[in-house]
């Protein structure tokens, strides 16, 4: 890339969506106005080439789309409405301007879905690998943000989608390469890894209902996210093996492989949470009325904070063994 400023001009969106935006890209900082009845929600994630993504499993377009999706999923877990995002990118010479344009197009297309405005960022060069940092901003009604520390004994645990499909899709990409060949069922799994869908609609339902709800997104696996809720709430979560929602296309895998993907795979970007048992029917009905999924997978009880798997009347502790970027693999 020869001209940084020309490139920035090229990837600057031609339209904006948020009426609160006063000044977007073009000055030293963006300006937007708040609303008295809303609270602002901010999150940030960094993706490093070779650690968080590989170019033989994701296209540049999909890398960009996923880079934003990770953050949008965090907003979903808070019950927030996505509004703005900023992008900081460190670019090595191994990336062409065309590939970078595709990367930004991936973010732009996902942003259009949620009417998010790109309001700034930074572009630098690096001698190593590409590093993509995305900051996302959202808003939620005052007092309605969802947190991890609201689980109490007697609550039920739920998921808002299928667990393990992304991890299965990644393994298929490792096995067969970016272009496959993949069967129809395998294509579903691969797509779930390459272009996951954040559960914003589900998070919004859970934020607007006047219920006590804990919430987390499944980025590092059900086991890891359930443990985070257990630790924050100082409660014990019991996951029932036969209630975990496994997509039909995964039934060709051995049961233990399905379980491993579901508990420890990560990057499904569904939501996991808890709510009082007496509220489950009402919340299920609201999800069903909007064509959305809510599956009860277990319950909360008193005890030492942690997570156990209940299978054939046997309980086994489930460690927080989701994907850890700083843990040596193999």
Its sign, for the CA torsion 217, 220, 226, 227, is: negative
The mean per-residue pLDDT over the stretch 237-264 comes to: 96
CB neighbours of 176 closer than 8 A, spacing ≥ 6? 182, 186
Binding-site entries for substrate? 52, 267, 323
Q: Is residue 181 reached through a cis peptide bond, with omega within 30 degrees of 0 on the bond before it? A: yes
Tokens of 295: 């599956």
Binding-site entries? 28, 45, 52, 74, 104, 121-122, 148, 217, 219-220, 267, 323
Whole-angstrom Cα distance, residue 63 to residue 52? 10
pLDDT bracket for residue 27 (50, 70, 90):
low
Binding-site entries for ATP? 104, 121-122, 148, 219
Q: Return the percentage of the chain with pLDDT > 70, whole number.
A: 94
The mean per-residue pLDDT over the stretch 166-170 comes to: 96
Whole-angstrom Cα distance, residue 170 to residue 189? 8
The mean per-residue pLDDT over the stretch 169-185 comes to: 94
pLDDT bracket for residue 211 (50, 70, 90):
very high
Averaged pLDDT of the chain: 92
What domains appear along the chain, each with residue ranges and CATH number? Answer: 4-141 (3.30.1330.10), 155-317 (3.90.650.10)
Q: Is the pLDDT of residue 324 over 50?
A: no
The mean per-residue pLDDT over the stretch 141-159 comes to: 97
pLDDT bracket for residue 16 (50, 70, 90):
confident
- 90, 130 in Cβ contact below 8 A? yes
What local confidence, expressed as pLDDT, does residue 166 receive? 96
Q: Is the pLDDT of residue 158 over 70?
A: yes
φ/ψ (deg, to 5) at 322: -70, 180
Q: What is the CA radius of gyration of the chain?
A: 20
Binding-site entries for Mg(2+)? 28, 45, 74, 122, 217, 220
Whole-angstrom Cα distance, residue 144 to residue 33? 20
């Amino acid at each position: 890339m020869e001209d940084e400023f020309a490139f920035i001009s090229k990837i600057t969106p031609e339209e904006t969506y948020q009426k609160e935006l006063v000044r977007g890209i073009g000055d030293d900082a963006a300006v937007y106005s708040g609303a008295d009845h809303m609270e602002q929600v901010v999150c940030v994630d960094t993706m490093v080439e070779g650690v968080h993504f590989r170019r033989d499993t994701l296209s540049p377009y999909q890398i960009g789309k996923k880079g934003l999706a990770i953050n949008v999923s965090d907003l979903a877990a808070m019950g927030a409405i996505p509004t703005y995002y900023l992008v900081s990118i460190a670019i090595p010479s191994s990336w062409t301007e065309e590939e970078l344009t595709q990367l930004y197009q991936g973010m732009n297309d996902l942003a259009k879905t949620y009417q998010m405005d790109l309001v700034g960022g930074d572009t630098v060069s690096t001698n190593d690998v590409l590093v993509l940092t995305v900051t996302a901003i959202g808003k939620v009604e005052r007092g309605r943000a969802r947190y991890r520390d609201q689980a109490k004994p007697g609550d039920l645990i739920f998921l808002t989608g299928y667990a393990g499909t992304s991890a299965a899709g990644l393994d298929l990409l490792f096995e067969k390469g970016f272009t496959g060949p993949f069967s129809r069922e395998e294509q579903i799994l691969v797509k779930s890894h390459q272009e996951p869908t954040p559960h914003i609609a589900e998070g919004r339902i859970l934020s607007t209902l006047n219920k006590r709800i804990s919430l987390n997104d499944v980025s590092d696996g059900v086991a890891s996210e359930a443990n985070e809720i257990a630790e924050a709430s100082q409660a014990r979560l019991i996951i029932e093996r036969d209630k975990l929602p496994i997509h039909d296309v995964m039934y060709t895998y051995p049961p233990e492989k399905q379980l491993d993907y579901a508990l420890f795979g990560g990057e499904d970007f569904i939501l996991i949470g808890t709510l009082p048992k007496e509220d489950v029917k009402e919340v299920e009905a609201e999800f069903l009325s909007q064509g959305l999924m809510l599956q009860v997978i277990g319950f909360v009880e008193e005890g030492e904070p942690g997570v156990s798997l209940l299978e054939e009347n046997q309980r086994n502790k489930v460690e927080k063994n989701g994907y850890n970027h700083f843990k040596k693999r193999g």
